[in-house]
């Protein structure tokens, strides 16, 4: 309810910095950030990702250093993505559930270094481990089969949980995987491991740089439209989210971020559960490209996009800009 002009002049509260700060509806802090990190084999190794300027793949020791940096910056959680060596990729992605794979060794090293001071979120999907770059097992026609894939994802999630992951995050979009993973965790003595489901994950053109970073992009034939969602659909996203909640997800993710703010708002209003957004690799790269092209300054461009996620209803945001954002937010 608003009186008409001049009884109401909405500019009154905007006139000074103290008043703007008093009336600010949404706050963001470094505690709202999750920092995605790419892992490679080796020691002391850092490989810049060409399509993500400013982002590198790190060997385990480098990831441990980033994890300590996250703690120092007040970032509560990191998300890990391995770039599996070529020789360990296979049609069936079996390396995904090897308890000594790059992911599990990294989880243990980070846990050793930071104890319980940092959340470790791990991606559950087969694309960093398959020779074809799909998130699941493919049949003769190239179709990603659902139920056999789910069985492998359960083994992958349990291996990650046993290595010390706090949150397993299935990003594969198979039907029924949240229930199966929840039961797998229960039956394997991991009842307190959270599931953050990539519940509404769209078949997006914004994932290109990520696929470079994990080395799946060049291998991928075709697309992921038979399992990731059609960008035109909103009601279907709510059905995906409802199912994942019913199957045992502790929180849900909408991905990509900025193009799907309506889904975030609808999900939060409908289900009143923690909703996270993934500001994906293409979104990061576009900000960097914009800065390089003189569109504007990096910091304000970034912070305006990040606050939009909070305003839309997010509990937090996965972003490759997390360390920069945390530095800005910490002053
Ligand atoms: C893999 C996965 C993808 C991303 C996160 N997990 C890529 C894909 O589905 O092809 C994308 C993240 C990003 O673009 O930053 N299942």
Torsion of CA 258, 212, 225, 103, to 10 degrees: -90
User: Do 227 and 135 contact (CB within 8 A), yes or no?
Assistant: yes
Q: How far is CA 72 from CA 16, 113, 145, 327, in A?
A: 33, 13, 43, 10
User: Do 184 and 158 contact (CB within 8 A), yes or no?
Assistant: yes
What pLDDT, in 10s, does the model give residues 21-36?
999 999 999 999 999 9
- At residue 87, does pLDDT exceed 90? yes
pLDDT number for residue 1: 82
pLDDT number for residue 2: 85
What pLDDT, in 10s, does the model give residues 182-236?
999 999 999 999 999 999 999 999 999 999 999 999 999 899 999 999 999 999 9
| Mean pLDDT score, 117-125 | 97
Q: Which residues contact 22 (CB under 8 A, 6 or more apart)?
A: 13
Task: Please identify, by atom number, the ligand 1 atom nearest to the C-alpha of residue 216.
Answer: 10
pTM above 0.95, yes or no: yes
Q: What b-and-e string marks burial along 297-326, b requiring 16 or more CB atoms within 10 Å of the CB?
A: ebeebbbebbbbbbebbbebbbbbbbbbbb
Task: Please identify, by atom number, the ligand 1 atom nearest to the C-alpha of residue 123.
Answer: 6
Task: Please identify, by atom number, the ligand 1 atom nearest to the C-alpha of residue 282.
Answer: 14
Distance 246 CA to ligand 1 centre (A): 24
| Mean pLDDT score, 77-81 | 98
The CB of 284 under 6 Å from ligand 1? The reply is: no
Name which of 11, 4, 29 is nearest 325 in CA terms.
Answer: 29
What tokens does 246 get?
């019913």
pLDDT number for residue 46: 98
Going by alpha carbons, the residue nearest to atom 8 of ligand 1 is 207
The CB of 317 under 6 Å from ligand 1? The reply is: no
The CB of 281 under 6 Å from ligand 1? The reply is: yes
Distance CA 103, CA 111 (A): 12
What pLDDT, in 10s, does the model give residues 286-317?
999 999 999 999 999 999 999 999 999 999 99
The CB of 244 under 6 Å from ligand 1? The reply is: no
Going by alpha carbons, the residue nearest to atom 7 of ligand 1 is 207
Distance CA 327, CA 331 (A): 6
Q: How far is CA 143 from CA 137, 178, 179, 222, 277, in A?
A: 8, 21, 22, 10, 28
Distance 73 CA to ligand 1 centre (A): 25
Distance 123 CA to ligand 1 centre (A): 9
Give the chain's domains with CATH numbers: 28-329 (3.20.20.70)
Task: Please identify, by atom number, the ligand 1 atom nearest to the C-alpha of residue 171.
Answer: 16
The number of residues making up the chain comes to 331
The CB of 204 under 6 Å from ligand 1? The reply is: no
Distance 183 CA to ligand 1 centre (A): 25
pLDDT > 90: percent of the chain: 99
| Mean pLDDT score, 91-114 | 98
Q: How confident is the model at residue 66 (pLDDT cuts 50, 70, 90)?
A: very high
Distance 195 CA to ligand 1 centre (A): 17
Catalytic residue ranges: 201, 255
What pLDDT, in 10s, does the model give residues 152-171?
999 999 999 999 999 999 99
């Amino acid at each position: 309810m608003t009186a008409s002009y001049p009884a109401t002049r909405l500019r009154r509260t905007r006139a000074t910095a103290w008043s703007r700060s008093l009336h600010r509806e949404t706050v963001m802090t470094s505690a709202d950030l999750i920092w995605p990190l790419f892992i490679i084999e080796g020691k002391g190794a850092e490989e810049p990702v060409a399509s993500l300027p400013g982002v590198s793949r790190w060997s385990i020791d480098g990831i441990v250093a980033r994890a300590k940096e996250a703690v120092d910056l007040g970032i509560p959680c990191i998300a890990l993505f391995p770039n599996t060596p070529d020789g360990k990729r296979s049609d069936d992605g079996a390396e995904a559930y090897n308890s000594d794979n790059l992911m599990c060794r990294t989880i243990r090293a980070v846990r050793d270094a930071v104890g319980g001071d940092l959340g470790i979120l791990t991606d559950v999907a087969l694309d960093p481990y398959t020779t074809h770059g799909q998130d699941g097992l493919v049949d003769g026609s190239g179709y990603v089969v659902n139920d056999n894939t789910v069985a492998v994802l359960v083994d992958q999630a349990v291996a990650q949980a046993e290595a010390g992951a706090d949150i397993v995050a299935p990003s594969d979009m198979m039907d029924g995987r949240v229930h199966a993973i929840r039961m797998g965790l229960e039956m394997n003595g991991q009842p307190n491991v959270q599931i953050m489901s990539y519940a509404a994950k769209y078949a997006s053109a914004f994932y290109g740089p990520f696929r470079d970073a994990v080395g799946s992009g060049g291998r991928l034939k075709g697309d992921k439209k038979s399992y990731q969602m059609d960008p035109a659909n909103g009601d279907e996203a709510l059905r995906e989210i409802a199912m994942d909640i019913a199957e045992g997800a502790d929180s849900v993710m909408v991905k990509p971020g900025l193009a799907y703010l309506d889904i975030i708002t609808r999900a939060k209003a409908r289900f009143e559960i923690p909703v996270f957004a993934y500001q994906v690799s293409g979104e990061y790269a576009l900000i960097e490209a914009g800065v390089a092209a003189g569109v504007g300054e990096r910091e304000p461009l970034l912070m305006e996009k990040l606050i939009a996620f909070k305003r839309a209803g997010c509990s937090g945001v996965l972003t490759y800009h997390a360390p920069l954002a945390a530095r800005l937010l910490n002053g």
